[in-house]
């Protein structure tokens, strides 16, 4: 950076924010992140290189504190998962952030919104545009970048595209799949974002950003199929599939839950194409190598997925839960009922192998037995609007705080000691699944597997007793197979396969 500006990134635990922090640090920027969970931020590779401010953009005082001493603030927040009144929540949050920025004497706010040039606009895109207007209600300069579909490993739009194309060789689709869209690669989004922080003077303006191609959503699906080695998809348009019906179907077929699919699908009813009159090229030129086209953007994303090197995912942002689920890890003295299913075993398996087996749980690796019951529970969750099991995991081997893991989220993790998962499935209460390991004095290892549940009201208590019979199959099988997996790892380490000279 050309000066000693300090930059604040909100939404640093999210998909774009997490990658933007890395991009800014590569330019030697001084970065502060504004997050709700310090532990989640600490799990990122950039944690030791940034200042971490803890708070919530809905809390004025913590926002002012986070913005104090900041020159440029990136506003990368949204509330599209917060229910039908998400637009009101977003407007109020943006308004408060703008006032706090003015009080803290911030010079520039940079906001990433959505392209909104069509007369027929979804509630989601209207809210994105209104957020920009609310941010601009003070004297602080607001530079708004509006993007369409962002193509990159881990983005919600990319996950929708990937799973719809992979799983449905024949698709009955609504007519909006023929609407034009203007996708842009995540690398190009980051290019524009980080360069807005280098401008000599604050800028108040709205710019559209898009890639080098304009095409329909159906065209993108066909390109994806071709690049993935799949046959051309048969797409049959029918007029009766409304955005609401489409989002229910997407929530069932893809990892993206219905609550998130609904606003994304709603945005496709309009043509999301950048306006040449709003081009940012006069202010910030394209990358030296040029903008990335759709095929190369898809290839880059697929490479990241196949090599298990996805840095951030759409699911990194914590999903909103019912009010009784918001407070996690309540202290013992809180007075809530707490039911537990605890299994303890002593084994000859090493701590190292036990930990590897624990950290690999879930996703494509499964849940160490009774997987059909896990599948059934995930299916039930999807049917009532939950996230189900299809979110999988960001990395097949390693976990970090805040990672989504099927319908769980990593609440805490301490290498070779403990892993605690918090349930994000729809249940009448709060639930955790925890694993702890320790080395015993006799040289053996102890593993403790504990499922705990805090019910909400009579319905919550009845739920616990209703699922208890399933615990008889699930939890003993899980700990037994987990130990078997650890023993196999120890055996493989002690008896390596001979190397081949061929």
What pLDDT is stored for residue 46 in this prediction?
92
Phi-psi region of 122 (alpha: psi -120 to 50; beta: other; left: phi over 0): beta
What are the pLDDT digits (tens) for 389-448?
Answer: 878 888 889 998 888 899 999 999 999 999 999 998 889 999 999 999 999 999 999 999
What pLDDT is stored for residue 186 in this prediction?
94
What pLDDT is stored for residue 333 in this prediction?
36
Whether pLDDT at 144 is above 80:
yes
What pLDDT is stored for residue 192 in this prediction?
96
The CATH 3.40.50.720 domain(s) of the chain lie at 6-316
- What phi, psi does 343 have (nearest 5°)? -125, 130
Whether pLDDT at 68 is above 90:
yes
What are the pLDDT digits (tens) for 235-273?
Answer: 777 765 566 666 666 666 676 766 666 666 666 677 888
Please tell me the number of Cα atoms within 13 Å of 158 on its side-chain side. Answer: 26
What pLDDT is stored for residue 499 in this prediction?
61
Q: What is the mean pLDDT of the chain?
A: 85
What confidence category does residue 325 fall into, taking pLDDT thresholds of 50, 70 and 90?
very low
Is domain 323-494 given the CATH code 3.30.530.20 in the classification? yes
Task: Dump the DSSP string for 177-209.
Answer: GGSEE--EEHHHHHHHHHHHTT-SS---EEEEE
pLDDT average, residue stretch 362-379: 88
pTM for the model stands at 0.74
What are the pLDDT digits (tens) for 84-138?
Answer: 677 888 899 999 999 999 999 999 999 999 888 877 777 778 888 899 999 999 9
Of residues 256, 82, 254, the one with CA closest to residue 171:
254
The CATH 3.30.530.20 domain(s) of the chain lie at 323-494
Is domain 6-316 given the CATH code 3.40.50.720 in the classification? yes
């Amino acid at each position: 950076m050309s000066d000693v500006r300090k930059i604040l990134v909100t939404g640093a635990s999210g998909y774009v924010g997490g990658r933007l922090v890395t991009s800014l640090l590569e330019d030697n920027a001084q970065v502060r992140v504004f997050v709700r969970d310090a532990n989640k931020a600490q799990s990122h590779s950039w944690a030791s290189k940034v200042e971490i401010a803890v708070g919530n953009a809905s809390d004025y005082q913590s926002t002012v504190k986070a913005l104090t001493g900041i020159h440029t603030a990136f506003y990368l927040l949204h509330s599209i998962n917060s229910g039908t009144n998400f637009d009101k929540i977003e407007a109020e949050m943006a308004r408060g952030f703008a006032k706090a920025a003015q009080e803290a004497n911030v010079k520039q706010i940079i906001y990433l919104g959505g392209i909104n040039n069509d007369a027929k606009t979804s509630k989601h895109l209207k809210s994105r545009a209104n957020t920009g207007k609310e941010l601009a209600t003070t004297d602080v300069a607001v530079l708004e970048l509006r993007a369409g579909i962002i193509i990159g490993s881990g983005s919600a739009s990319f996950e929708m595209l990937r799973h719809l194309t992979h799983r449905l060789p024949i698709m009955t689709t609504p007519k909006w799949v023929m609407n034009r869209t203007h996708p842009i690669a995540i690398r190009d989004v980051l290019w524009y974002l980080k360069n807005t922080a280098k401008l000599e003077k604050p800028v108040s303006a709205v710019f559209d950003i898009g890639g080098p191609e304009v095409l329909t959503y159906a065209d993108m699906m066909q390109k994806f199929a071709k690049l993935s080695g799949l046959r051309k998809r048969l797409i049959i348009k029918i007029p009766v599939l409304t955005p609401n019906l489409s989002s229910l179907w997407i929530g069932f077929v893809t990892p993206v839950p219905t609550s998130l699919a609904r606003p994304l699908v709603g945005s496709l009813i309009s043509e999301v194409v950048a306006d040449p009159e709003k081009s940012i090229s006069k202010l910030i030129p394209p990358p030296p190598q040029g903008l990335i086209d759709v095929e190369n953007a898809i290839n880059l994303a697929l490479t990241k997925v196949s090599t298990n090197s996805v840095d951030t995912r759409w699911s990194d942002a914590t999903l909103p839960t019912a009010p009784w689920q918001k407070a996690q890890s309540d202290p013992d003295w809180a007075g809530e009922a707490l039911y537990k299913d605890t299994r303890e075993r002593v084994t000859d398996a090493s701590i190292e192998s036990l930990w590897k087996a624990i950290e690999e749980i879930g996703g494509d690796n499964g849940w160490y037995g009774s997987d059909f019951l896990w599948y059934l529970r995930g299916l039930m969750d999807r049917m009532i609007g939950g996230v189900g099991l299809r979110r999988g995991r960001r990395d097949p081997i390693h976990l970090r705080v805040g990672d989504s893991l099927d319908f769980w989220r990593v609440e805490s993790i301490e290498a070779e000691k403990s892993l605690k998962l918090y349930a994000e499935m729809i249940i009448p209460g709060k639930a955790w699944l925890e694993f702890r390991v320790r080395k015993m004095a006799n040289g053996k290892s102890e593993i403790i597997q504990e499922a705990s549940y805090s019910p909400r009201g009579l319905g919550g208590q009845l739920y616990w007793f209703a699922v208890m019979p399933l615990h008889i199959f699930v939890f003993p099988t899980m700990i037994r197979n987990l130990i078997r997996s650890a023993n196999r790892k120890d055996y493989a380490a002690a008896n390596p396969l001979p190397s081949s000279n061929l």
